[in-house]
Amino acid sequence: MSTLAIVLIVAAVVAVALIVFAATRRRTTETRRAKARDMRDEAEISRTEAEKQRAAADEQEARARREAAEAEERARQAERQHAQAEHQAERAASIDPDRR
């Protein structure tokens, strides 16, 4: 074989190796991009679910505060009503001549 033929064969082998390397690298890069894209999608789904849960918890907490405030108001109203009834009972007792 002549030197030129050997050089051409080596150059062809190197060219084929470079083409194979580039193709393999391109596939690896695409695989990594796809994996990263999937991971971002999963993170977004997880983030959205966490935000939904946080909103539900906030809503539940607000409802509990509202119900507690309503219960407190009912208790105050019952206490006022009780005090008023006591006052009326005392007045009735002071007015009733049979009670003295």
Residues with Cβ < 8 Å from 93, sequence gap 6 or more? 99
**Position 20 in a domain:** yes
**Longest Cα separation, the chain:** 143
Task: Give me the average pLDDT of each 10-residue run along the chain (100 residues).
Answer: 82 86 80 93 97 97 97 97 93 76
**What's phi and psi for 96, nearest 5 deg?**
-70, 120
- Whole-angstrom distance, CA of residue 65 vs CA of residue 67: 5
**Position 24 in a domain:** yes
**Position 100 in a domain:** no
Among candidates 27, 45, 24, which has minimal Cα distance to 35? 27
The whole domain housing 44 covers 3-95
pTM (two decimals) = 0.54
Number of domain units in the chain: 1
- Whole-angstrom distance, CA of residue 86 vs CA of residue 77: 14
